[in-house]
Amino acid sequence: MNINHLKNNFPTIAILTNMMATPFSEGIIFGAKDYATQQQYNILCFSGAEFAKPAKTNMSRDRIFELIDKKAIDGLIIPMGALSRFISIEEQLLFLEQFSHIPVITVASSIPGYLDVGYTPKQGIEELVEHLIGEHHVQRFAFAGPTGTHLSTQHKKQYFESALATHGLSLNPGMYITSDMSTNEPIPLLDELLTKPKIEWPQAIVVSTDSQAISIITILNKKGIKVPEDIIVTGSMGDMDSLFSEPPLTSIIEPTYELGWNAAKKLITLIEGNTITENTVLPTSLAVRESCGCLQSDADLFLLSSLPKTVNSKNIVDLENIQEELEQVISAISPEQQKYVNQDISHTLTIMLFADLKDEMSHQLIAYFTKHLESAIKTDQISLWNKLAQAVHHRLIQSIDRINNKSKAVKIASDLCKIAQRCNIKASHYRSFETEKYLGSIREIGIQLNSEFNLNEIAQNLQDGLNFSDCYISIFEDLGEDKTLMSSVFAMQNKEHLSTSNSPYPSSELMPPNVKAYDQLFALVVMPLSFKEDFIGTCVLDLAVGKGAIYEGLLTLFSSALKNQIHVHRLSEAEKKFSDIAHSASDWLWEIDSKACFKYSSDGVKQVLGYSQEEIIGRPMTDFIAHSATNNIRKLINSMQTQHELEGFETRYQHKNGTERVLLTTGNPIIKYGKTIGYRGAYKDISQLKAQQERIEILAYQDPLTNLPNRVQFNEFLNKTISISKQQQLTFALLFIDLDGFKLVNDSLGHDGGDLLLIEVSKLLKQCLRSGDILARFAGDEFTLILPNIKDQSLIQDTAKRILKTLSAPIIIKEKIVYISASIGIALFPIHGEQSRLLLKRADKAMYLSKRNGKNHFSFYEQGLEDALNRTVMIRQSLHTAIREDDFFLVYQPQIENKTGEISGVEALLRLPEEKYHNITPDEFIPIAEEAGLIEEIGLWVFKTACIQQQQWITSGLNLKCSINVSAKQFRNPNLADNFINIVKERKIDPCMVTLEITENAIFDNQEEAQALLQQLSNHGFNIAIDDFGTGYASLSCLHKIPVNIIKIDRSFINNYANNQENASIVPAIIMMSKGLKLEVVAEGVETREQWKFLKKLDCDVLQGYLFSKPILAKEIPILLNNWNIKQFD
């Protein structure tokens, strides 16, 4: 594609940036633009993608950029953050490959293979620490940064801690404050610090950004804490906001303008055929102002951080070096500032300085500065005289000891300080005037856009109020995926408002056909117009205004106004569609006013609540809320009052016939002039689904025989008790209780007699406990008990003795006297372990010790119990050997589609050679691999090996899905998803052919991180299966929180279904509910025809087990497929 209008005889530099409103981006853009213009280069800036936005919007800038003919661009600058939508370095490098024909310079980034212009905060932080300790005697420091992971903040913190260390100090972990960037949000960690005695407060808070520092000052002021009198606060960016904050902020200056200037300089050097091999790193420095307790005038005297550093600076004043320093200042200012001074200004100022130094009565230099400062009426003009005054002062201070007329030099330096101070004060005033002027112009444009849409008035405000000369606004003809054509909405070139045509033109041209070609140098920014997730058009503006916030403000105005126009255009059609849909939908669509009275109701209300539309309209929604839902309605009304969207909100309503219905609410506020005037949304009747969920919850968490918590719920209690005990440093006891002689009772009195005995035992056990103790039926005739907050082991012994004594008494079952006893094993937290599985295991081992000691005993776990410990050590050594000698291998167990009887996939299972490794089973070595930290390496090998095998099968024509187990420990690796994605890409395997099997505990032990990784994998196409379902923490009701496709019912439910009524009821319930949630169900451990028939009748989707095939080697799979016939198992 050719940009016909932008072809001229000058080379073009492109800049990609995420946004313009930040001081960092603004400085880089205009620094690069000023140098490029000075060197006769065009600038074309592409801005508008933000990291936090949805991918569809986030790509909009790059989608515009991708239209551009890359041959029209001679070089590219990419500042830090511009490629933030690409998560990995590999993706960034892939994006940059398209620019291999032109030089590319990055700014403050670390992309391999590309030259970078960066900066280091090290020098500025060291100066700050030196100043605070030396001048203000600070000994207690706090450091504040944003929440989340920010590389720049981490680097600043590291340099800060290093600088403290040189003074023999360190940062107390309790003094690290994190918060978001909002000035309106409280900072809990800061509040916590301030509740301590004042003597324990930090004397100084060093903050990683100026905006966050200003936020902290605001919070301190609200609490009556003065800055700097009570606490010093410093920032780290040095933008204009820091200079004009109250008080002015002591800050580390980041050389953003110089970064852009040097990036353009380095890029043009490469474009013109010269060689550069080294990166550029610019230093930061300190600007001391009033927030640390120093006077601003004193600060700006000595710390001239905005000046370019003098090369080979000499500590002497002569005509040559003072003029050289002034010329460096002039060379680094923008073309707009250069027009305010004569070409020989550096020579003029130098002659005046020397004349004043020779003659006590001469004051030419200060008079010259005063005259020009009084006539300056723009902030960039005032800033120029400030820089020149600081440059002369800089040379005087460096050479003060070598000047003959030292007293006169000190007087001139002092007067220059006052000039600099006056510059800052006047700049502050004029900055306010200019800001108000710009805001006024933007407000006028907003009014025109959202009312009359008067394009002439808009053009006038862009020209006169904001000083723009060029502006082109266009929207796409198709707001869907097709972005090939667009129409011009507004066009202004060289301050002339151009007429627009209804004829669309190629989006790749960026500008309408009636725009004249640019035959002179140009500097333009191209920004995407978007609204929420919709990419709707483009806006092109000239880079005439040095304030990035104005561009972002206009972009927001244009996007919003155009979206409104689009909405208005389509409103009548949408209303008609809504009416048709509303009256045909089974859901109840509604609208309420500000008093929560129904204004509109669809016919769906009749089906949902039994009322007609007429009976509903005008009545408050509270009239129909069920009495049992008082708390829910309070939450609902509170959400409405706070203008929140309603999504997935469940409320119980009263049907006209008196029954209760559970309705799922979705809705949005109706906002007019900033106020909520009502809500509209939909109710969906989920009463039947809710009832099914409640039944499943009871089955999943409660033992139906004894009404005690079952194993699933007990595991939750146990993990919760561990967490609380860790936090409060408490001890608790875990008792594993196994009934002695239960099988004899079961055999003699039958299963119903055994059930009655278990019920009676559960009642007797309850009588032995305190109110806070937790008793559960763990399995069969096994009970588990938690005794929390144990301060004396005698309490444990007393409880165990009481249980043994109570159970030893005769029990009458079915009119017969039954005698029973118990063996009890006891493990203590944290002495015997800090993980639930380990505690259960050790309590179980102690219980078996009680049985070996004659039963009817209790035993504490002891280290000497475990002969198995030696085997564990042996297994761990064997694992290291197996990794080193590559001894692991995989076997594959087929998975059979229930409906077709065909083999549709396999599960990859890890094995060790039996002879070499003494029959070590996966059940033994996998937990030990997890504990030893080897599972990540082994798991990655399993995944890669299984994918290699699957690729070989696919190549040979066998399209088998492959299920691969992933350990819970692997989810602690944040690179897990990237590793898996890269492997399937490398092997050219469709991710939908791979199923990742994870246990319930893998998700819920580390819920937030695990869910994020699973979502990433699911988005990429992988199938996610919950393995051993029913043995861990998950329930079907919480599966909507994670991207699960498949449920694998644990083999224990399949094996015991015939002899266990609980299992026989749970399996159908799980299958029914899973299908309701559109999840595939796999049953593992199918070993008998009876089990097969049971599962086939329940319409279980996929079957796996030894009935069909044991796990076999990969080379045996094709043979099995060739000979396969499901009928052989009938």
725-739 confidence digits (pLDDT tens): 999 999 999 999 999
For residue 1043, give the CATH number of its domain. Answer: 3.20.20.450
Question: Quick one: pLDDT at residue 449?
Answer: 65
Name the token pair of 768: 């032995």
Number of domains in the chain: 6
Res. 311: pLDDT tops 50: no
- The DSSP-derived string for 555-594 is HHHHHHHHHHHHHHHHHHHHHHHHHHHHTT-SSEEEEEET
Domain containing 397 equals 311-432
- Same domain? For 1044 and 939 the reply is yes
- Same domain? For 770 and 824 the reply is yes
Specify if 295 maps to a domain.
no
Specify if 460 maps to a domain.
no
Name the token pair of 634: 């309070």
User: What are the pLDDT digits (tens) for 1-49?
Assistant: 356 667 788 999 999 887 776 778 888 888 898 889 889 999 998 886 4
Q: What are phi and psi of 354, to 5 degrees?
A: -70, -35
887: confidence class by pLDDT, cuts 50, 70, 90:
very high
User: Among 476, 464, 397, 407, which Cα is nearest to 437's?
Assistant: 464
Question: Quick one: pLDDT at residue 859?
Answer: 92
Whether the Cβ atoms of residue 51 and residue 58 lie closer than 8 Å to each other: yes
Res. 182: pLDDT tops 90: no
Specify if 899 maps to a domain.
yes
Question: Quick one: pLDDT at residue 630?
Answer: 64
- Same domain? For 791 and 911 the reply is no
Specify if 297 maps to a domain.
no
User: What are the pLDDT digits (tens) for 237-276?
Assistant: 766 667 667 888 888 888 888 889 899 999 999 999 999 9
632: confidence class by pLDDT, cuts 50, 70, 90:
low
Question: Quick one: pLDDT at residue 318?
Answer: 60
User: What are the pLDDT digits (tens) for 1004-1026?
Assistant: 656 677 888 999 999 999 999 99
Classified as helix, coil or strand, 22 is coil
Question: Quick one: pLDDT at residue 64?
Answer: 67
Angle 500-501-507 (CA atoms, 0-180°, nearest 5)? 95
Looking at residues 741-760, what average pLDDT do you find? Answer: 84
- Same domain? For 105 and 202 the reply is no
Looking at residues 907-912, what average pLDDT do you find? Answer: 96
Res. 1066: pLDDT tops 90: no
CA distance linking residue 774 with residue 752, whole number of Å: 26
Q: How far is CA 841 from the centre of its chain?
A: 37
- Same domain? For 819 and 709 the reply is yes
Looking at residues 568-585, what average pLDDT do you find? Answer: 50
CA distance linking residue 725 with residue 305, whole number of Å: 53
| Domain endpoint, select from 554, 582, 610 | 582
C-alpha to C-alpha distances, 283 to 125, 255, 305, 862, nearest whole angstrom: 10, 8, 10, 61
Looking at residues 403-416, what average pLDDT do you find? Answer: 79
Range scoring the smallest mean pLDDT among 295-304, 652-661, 672-681, 907-916: 295-304
- Same domain? For 734 and 878 the reply is no
Specify if 236 maps to a domain.
yes
- Same domain? For 644 and 667 the reply is yes
Question: Quick one: pLDDT at residue 130?
Answer: 92
Res. 1115: pLDDT tops 60: yes
Whether the Cβ atoms of residue 695 and residue 688 lie closer than 8 Å to each other: no
- Same domain? For 600 and 558 the reply is no
799-810 b/e (C-beta count within 10 Å ≥ 16 → b): bbeebbeebeee
Question: Quick one: pLDDT at residue 567?
Answer: 62
53: confidence class by pLDDT, cuts 50, 70, 90:
very low
| Domain endpoint, select from 545, 566, 582 | 582
CA distance linking residue 1024 with residue 1042, whole number of Å: 9
Specify if 353 maps to a domain.
yes
For residue 490, give the CATH number of its domain. Answer: 3.40.50.2300
- Same domain? For 427 and 393 the reply is yes
Could you say which DSSP state residue 653 is in? Answer: E
User: What are the pLDDT digits (tens) for 529-562?
Assistant: 876 667 788 888 888 766 777 777 777 777 777 7
- Same domain? For 862 and 753 the reply is yes
Res. 369: pLDDT tops 60: yes
Specify if 287 maps to a domain.
no
Whether the Cβ atoms of residue 596 and residue 622 lie closer than 8 Å to each other: yes
For residue 675, give the CATH number of its domain. Answer: 3.30.450.20
Question: Quick one: pLDDT at residue 799?
Answer: 95
Contacts of 696 (CB under 8 A, 6+ apart): 1035, 1036, 1037, 1069, 1070, 1073
Question: Quick one: pLDDT at residue 1058?
Answer: 63
CA distance linking residue 283 with residue 252, whole number of Å: 10
Looking at residues 886-908, what average pLDDT do you find? Answer: 95
Whether the Cβ atoms of residue 996 and residue 1024 lie closer than 8 Å to each other: yes
Res. 405: pLDDT tops 70: yes
Angle 87-91-97 (CA atoms, 0-180°, nearest 5)? 150
Res. 117: pLDDT tops 80: yes
Res. 637: pLDDT tops 50: yes
832-867 b/e (C-beta count within 10 Å ≥ 16 → b): bbeebeebbbbbbbbbebbbeeeebbbbbbeeebee
Reduced 3-state DSSP string for 795-864: HHHHHHHHHHHHHHCCEEECCEEECCEEEEEEEEECCCCCCHHHHHHHHHHHHHHHHHCCCCCEEECCHH
Specify if 303 maps to a domain.
no
Which ranges constitute the DSSP H helices of 862-959?
868-885, 922-931, 935-955
Comparing 758 with 21, the larger pLDDT belongs to 758
- Same domain? For 704 and 851 the reply is yes
Range scoring the smallest mean pLDDT among 222-226, 392-396, 1042-1046: 392-396
Most confident of 4-8, 200-204, 308-312, 398-402: 200-204
By residue count, the chain amounts to 1130
Q: Is 34 buried (19+), middle (13-18) or exposed (0-12) by CB count in 10 A?
A: buried
289: confidence class by pLDDT, cuts 50, 70, 90:
confident
448: confidence class by pLDDT, cuts 50, 70, 90:
low
Of all residues in the chain, the percent with pLDDT exceeding 70 is 81
362: confidence class by pLDDT, cuts 50, 70, 90:
confident
Amino acid letter for position 505: Y
Range scoring the smallest mean pLDDT among 45-49, 441-445, 490-494, 842-846: 441-445
CB atoms within 10 A of CB 548: 23
Res. 68: pLDDT tops 80: no
Res. 52: pLDDT tops 80: no
| Domain endpoint, select from 408, 432, 456 | 432
Name the token pair of 44: 């074309």
- Same domain? For 932 and 1074 the reply is yes
CA distance linking residue 1015 with residue 1035, whole number of Å: 19
Mean of the per-residue pLDDT values of the chain: 82
868: confidence class by pLDDT, cuts 50, 70, 90:
low
